[in-house]
Amino acid sequence: MVVKPVASIAMREKKPKSENKTGATAHASRARVAIKRAYEPAQPDDGLRVLVDRLWPRGLRKDHARVDLWAKEIAPSSELRRWFGHSPDRWEEFKKKYRTELFDNMAQLNPIREALERGCSVTLLFAAHDVAHNNAVVLKGVLEDGDLPRAGLSG
């Protein structure tokens, strides 16, 4: 997995300060998971931009994509991707099969989970035309629900 240094990612994410009961300032967490087509321009509030497709998006220049992390390992397998073919009729079954693949590769989710735990927003990038039926939608749900155990932990 290609990862930019964590310090550069963390420094880019601005956190508002809030006061606690004693008047001391603390950073308020704004961590969120968003999804966006890889072809859409980067925005300052995107946070960590993670491409979650196995293949690089056709026609997108790497120097213009502003991808912080290309997480090929958590993309659906080539076999599952070809079977699904972005057919809405296969969506429910695709979600089940992809969640199973994610469970088998949960260690690959750790860099994204760690960014969220630090309060860094994460934007999952995908190339599919269908914004409602793609792997980023499933992955967003998994990250927000926290329903897959963290690798290396029993549970």
pLDDT in tens, 40-68: 999 999 999 999 999 999 999 998 899 99
Q: What is the pLDDT of residue 64?
A: 87
Q: What is the pLDDT of residue 89?
A: 96
Residue 119: left if φ>0, alpha if ψ -120 to 50, beta else—which one? Answer: left
Of 7-21, 64-78, 114-128, 134-148, the range with the lowest mean pLDDT is 7-21
